Structure 1
C-alpha cells in the first residue's frame, strides 16, 4: 500500500497553523523579557470567544475579531500583573491560564447546559481538491504573511529594535529614552492577540465547534517551540512544522494496518516525545534574552 505522503503534508500545515500563530505571539512576549505562561488560557479564550460570537452572529470574521479582542484583554491582564505590579511571571501566567480556562468553561456550561454540540459558522478551505494547497485562510496568512512580516518587523523596524533593547537590558533602554513599561505592554497585548487567533483557528476553521479542553496543551508546546527556535521567527516556524508533521504522521500510522499492534497511547505521545528530544538536542546552552523573567522598576 502506497503511503499517503501528500495527505500527511497537508495535515502538517493544518496542525501547525495554531502553533505558528501562538508560538510567534509567545516569541514577541519573550523578546521583551516576559515569559507568558498564560498562553494556554489565552488560546482557550480565543477559541471560546470566537466560537461564541460565530454561533451568535453566524459570521466567522466577527468571531475572529472578538477572539483578537479577548487576546488583547488577556495581554493587558498579564501586563498589569507582571509589568505594573511586578508579580512573579510564573505565578501570573499560570494564574491567568487558570482564570481564563475556568471563566470559559463556566460560561460554556451556563449557556449550553444541555451539553448539545453547537455548530459555528466557520471558514472554508481554499483550493479544495488541490492536495497540500487545500488549506484554511488562516493557514495561508500564518505562513505567507505573519511569519515574514514579523521577521522583518523584529529585525528592521524601530519597534523590533525597542523590543530587543527592553528584553536585553531594560535599564539601558530606559536611559536611552525607550518607554520600557509601554513597550512590554505592547508586546504582551500584540503577542496575546496572536495566541488568541491561534486558539480561534481550532473552533472557526478546524472543528467548527467548541469542546472542553480543546487546546489540549498546545500552549505549552508553543513555549517549548520558542526555546527550540532560540527566539527567532523561522526556526520557531520550523519547530511548529516538525510537531505538525509528527502529529500528522501518528494519525496516519494509527489507521495503517501495519501499525495496528502499536498501543494508541504511544502513537499519541510520539509528537510530544519528538519535541522533548528536539529540546534536549537544540535547547542546550541556549542564550536567553538578558532580562528574561526580570521585572523592571525605575530607580
Structure 2
C-alpha cells in the first residue's frame, strides 16, 4: 500500500505495443521507439529550453534555411540545412544537456561530425542523420547527449556527409533532481493474430520493445520500470476483454498493482539508502506515469474505464 495514496502524477500515453503488433520486432520500428523514448525523457527531465533563435546559445554558419515554426515537430522552432560543411556551434551548460534534432528515415550516409571548440576543435563524436525511423514516418525526434567531458563547452555540429537534412530543434538542459517517472512495460496478449490491423505481434516482439524501457532506465535513473509480465501480476489468458487487446476490470487491477508495487519498491529502497528521509514520503508525489499498456491501442477505445 502507498503511505499516502492520491499523490500527483502526469499521465503520458504512448503505445509501443502497436508498433510491436504492426511489424513485429523490425529494426526500423525498434529504432523509432528507441530514439523517441530517449527524446521524450530528455524533454520530461528538462530544466529549461533554449531555442535555435537564441544567439547566446546557437551560432549558425553556412546555408541554413530560415528559422521556422514546426508545431508538428515540437513546440518551438527549427533550423535545417542540406549542405555538407554547414555547421552550428552550441554552448552547452555545465550540467547534463541534450541537443534535439530530427532523425529521418533516409538510408543515405548523411552524418554529423561533433568537435569541441573549447578543446582546440578536437573531434569527439559523430552520428548518423538517417535510419532513425520507419519509412512511413518522415522523421522522429532524436536527442544527442553531450559527453561528460564536454559539459560546459562549446560544441560544433557539422553536416559532414550526404544530402539528408540536419534539422536542429532546441537545447534542453536537464534537471539535477528530476521527478520520478514510472514506465509500464507492454503486457502480453493471448492472440496477436486476432487483429486485422495489427496482426504481427508476439510475446518475443514485445520483449524486444520492453527491453528498450530497461535501457532507458539505465540512462535516466529517475525512471522506474514496472513489468506486468512478471509472475503474479498480468495473466494474458484472463485479463483481456473479448477483443483480446484491451484489459478487462481484472486486467486494469493487475496493471495498477504492477505500477504501485514498482513505486513502493523504489520508495522503500530510497528510504533504506538515505539518512533522515521520512518513511511517510509518497512515491507518487510529483511523479510522471508513462503508460505503455494495451489501453493505448488506437483500433478502438477501451470499453472498461482505465
User: So what's the TM-score if we normalise by structure 1?
Assistant: 0.31
- Give 1 or 2 for the bigger CA radius of gyration: 2
Q: Which has the higher contact order (CA 8 A, sep 6+)?
A: 1
Higher helix share: 1
User: So what's the TM-score if we normalise by structure 2?
Assistant: 0.30
Higher strand share: 2
